[in-house]
Amino acid sequence: MSEVTSTDLYEVTMALSYLREDMRAQATFGLFVRELPPGRGFLVAAGLEPALDHLARFRVGRSDVEAFAEVLRRPAADLEPLHGLSFDGEVRAVPEGRLVLAGEPLLEVTAPLPQAQLVETSLLSLVCHQTAVASKAARCVLAAAGRTLVDFSLRRTHGPEAGLQAARLGALVGFAGTSNVAAARRFGIPAAGTMAHSYIEAFPSEEAAFRAFARAHPGPVTFLVDTYDTDAGVATAARVLRDLRLGPGCAIRLDSGDLDAQARRARAALDAAGLADVRIIASGGLDEYAVDRLVRQGAPIDAYAVGTKVGTAADAPYLDAAYKLVEYDGRPVMKLSPGKATAPGRKQVFRGPGLRDVIGLENEEPPEGTEPLLRTVMRGGLRTDAPDTLAAARARFEADLAELPDEARRVDGPTPPAATPSTRLSALTAVVRHRVEARTGRPGGRALA
């Protein structure tokens, strides 16, 4: 049994029915976010690279067929048409790191209908979770205003794989490091870490703990100073750092309490001890809101370690995303459900300065001064280029972030830009709506073009 079975049951039953009805013509599905979560001025496209990896190895094996048959309580022979099904379609997508808005397709899949249907759940899972976390991390970058950010999320993410994703996504938007050893090794991200309060408690005194740690790690060290009394901890750390002459790059970490006030007292104590180059790191339940407040208050904090709330995208942990059929066998299609209507046809997003985006049809000419966002990343089930790099994704993110309007950059109460439909897309939507309403005999909902 392979990862193919990590899907919703109705994907299996629909794909089987398509195969039995010989509905194998090309279908295009678009994956998009209907509305941005509250408190978001933009999203960061992410999860494409893992999604392409998944599609490249997608194949329904014998054990998968048997698993489908078992849960459906049917003979395996009934599910035999699924055996050997693999993905040999095309994917057009927004590259990772680019900013995206509500209604814009993050990717479009074109493949024989059973294939395009069966990969839906996996694509939504991979793209939506990672886009949500990347967007949360990006807001931390805005809040930090150039200060160092480090990922400390692994112990609170929803499983080890989610922890790997969070570390990678933090690096994608500009985090300087991660506490996650596996992620540091896999993705080439600098590893960062300090010590726990339990380490301090295991020794007879803070000073004994700090000296022991320095003996084991003679390079730059970071001492956790708030296990007992923060001011005393800072004084002890300063004494040890000065005595051992550990060199530049050392730091202290504040993990609780009034971080602004404690950082100010710590900075004064370190400077008075001749340790102006020792940095102050803050942690402890931080997210973009807390970081933004501390930065605005002028807290002398050099780096922020963010974990739980960022790795889980705590205030907006899911996206109102959909994967909808927009064309089948050359025929544009749309859904008319009230509040969930879709726009028909294969699409392109044309980006202008300041994220003034136009959602149009794939084959229309770009409006003057715009560039198309979606590009072909897979054809015939194979990647069209080598796997993307974090450095390239980060460069795209930084370029788009520089274009983001001020009102969308705000941490509190951002106003997101709104993409507009092209004239041709609006016209196609009206034609398809009329056709569907004529066929069904009643009007539908308002299209989200």
Residue 405's CATH number: 3.20.140.10
CA atoms within 13 A on the CB side of 428: 25
Q: Which of the residue ranges 106-115, 210-219, 417-426 would you say has the lowest mean pLDDT?
A: 210-219
Task: Report whether pLDDT(217) > 70.
Answer: yes
In single-letter form, the type of residue at position 153 comes to: S
Residue-wise pLDDT tens digits, 282-327: 999 999 999 999 999 999 999 999 999 999 999 999 999 999 999 9
CA distance 430 to 62: 45
Which residues are CB-neighbours of 332 under 8 A, at least 6 positions away?
Answer: 326, 344, 345, 428, 432
CA distance 200 to 226: 10
Q: Are residues 359 and 249 in the same domain?
A: no
Inside any domain, residue 150: no
Inside any domain, residue 188: no
Beta strands in 339-386 (DSSP E): 347-352, 356-361, 371-372, 375-379, 382-383
Residue-wise pLDDT tens digits, 424-449: 999 999 999 999 988 877 665 444 44
Number of domains in the chain: 2
Helix axes 259-272, 288-297, angle to 10 degrees: 50
In single-letter form, the type of residue at position 278 comes to: V
Inside any domain, residue 241: yes
Residue-wise pLDDT tens digits, 75-89: 999 999 999 999 999
Closest alpha carbon to 236 in 259, 219, 260, 213: 213
Instruction: List residues bridging with 107 in a β-sheet.
Output: 31, 93
User: C-alpha angle 296/285/278, rounded to 5°?
Assistant: 65
DSSP, collapsed to helix, strand or coil, labels residue 306 as strand
Inside any domain, residue 152: no
Q: Of 273, 289, 311, which closes a domain?
A: 311
Task: Report whether pLDDT(1) > 90.
Answer: no
Q: Are residues 99 and 206 in the same domain?
A: no
Task: Report whether pLDDT(2) > 90.
Answer: no
Task: Report whether pLDDT(223) > 90.
Answer: yes
**Tell me, what's the pLDDT at 246?**
78
Q: Are residues 288 and 349 in the same domain?
A: no
Q: Are residues 269 and 336 in the same domain?
A: no
Provide the mean pLDDT of the chain: 95
Closest alpha carbon to 295 in 142, 138, 136: 142
The whole-number average pLDDT for the span 166-193 is 97
The whole-number average pLDDT for the span 176-189 is 97
CA distance 254 to 274: 20
Q: Are residues 307 and 372 in the same domain?
A: no
**Tell me, what's the pLDDT at 245?**
84
Q: Are residues 356 and 277 in the same domain?
A: no
Q: Are residues 279 and 334 in the same domain?
A: no
% of the chain surpassing 90 pLDDT: 93
* Per-residue tokens: 332: 């544009």
Q: Could you tell me how many residues make up the chain?
A: 449
**Tell me, what's the pLDDT at 443?**
61
Q: Are residues 221 and 108 in the same domain?
A: no
The whole-number average pLDDT for the span 198-209 is 98
Contact at 8 Å (CB) between 275 and 242?
yes
Residue-wise pLDDT tens digits, 133-156: 999 999 999 999 999 999 999 999
Write the burial class of residue 438 (CB in 10 Å: 0-12 exposed, 13-18 middle, 19+ buried).
Answer: exposed
Contact at 8 Å (CB) between 128 and 318?
yes
Inside any domain, residue 66: yes
Inside any domain, residue 272: yes
Q: Are residues 127 and 8 in the same domain?
A: yes
**Tell me, what's the pLDDT at 339?**
82
The whole-number average pLDDT for the span 343-372 is 96
Q: Of 295, 311, 327, which closes a domain?
A: 311
Contact at 8 Å (CB) between 363 and 374?
no
**Tell me, what's the pLDDT at 442?**
67
Q: Of 292, 311, 330, which closes a domain?
A: 311
Q: Are residues 320 and 291 in the same domain?
A: no
Inside any domain, residue 37: yes
> What is the DSSP secondary structure assignment for residue 158, as one 8-state letter?
S
DSSP, collapsed to helix, strand or coil, labels residue 179 as coil
371-372, strands of its sheet edge to edge: 371-372, 347-352, 356-361, 420-421
**Tell me, what's the pLDDT at 445?**
47
CA distance 115 to 420: 31
Largest CA distance in the chain: 85
**Tell me, what's the pLDDT at 340?**
86
Q: Are residues 307 and 320 in the same domain?
A: no
Task: Report whether pLDDT(210) > 50.
Answer: yes
User: C-alpha angle 321/326/329, rounded to 5°?
Assistant: 145
Inside any domain, residue 410: yes
**Tell me, what's the pLDDT at 337?**
85
Q: Are residues 349 and 305 in the same domain?
A: no
Residue 126 is part of which domain span?
Answer: 3-133+316-440
**Tell me, what's the pLDDT at 74?**
96
Residue-wise pLDDT tens digits, 29-64: 999 999 999 999 999 999 999 999 999 999 999 999
Closest alpha carbon to 254 in 197, 191, 295, 174: 197
% of the chain surpassing 70 pLDDT: 98
CATH value at residue 215 = 3.20.20.70
**Tell me, what's the pLDDT at 448?**
42
Beta strands in 96-215 (DSSP E): 99-100, 105-112, 148-151, 177-178
Give the alpha-carbon dihedral of 435, 439, 445, 448, to 10 degrees. Answer: -30
Task: Report whether pLDDT(252) > 50.
Answer: yes
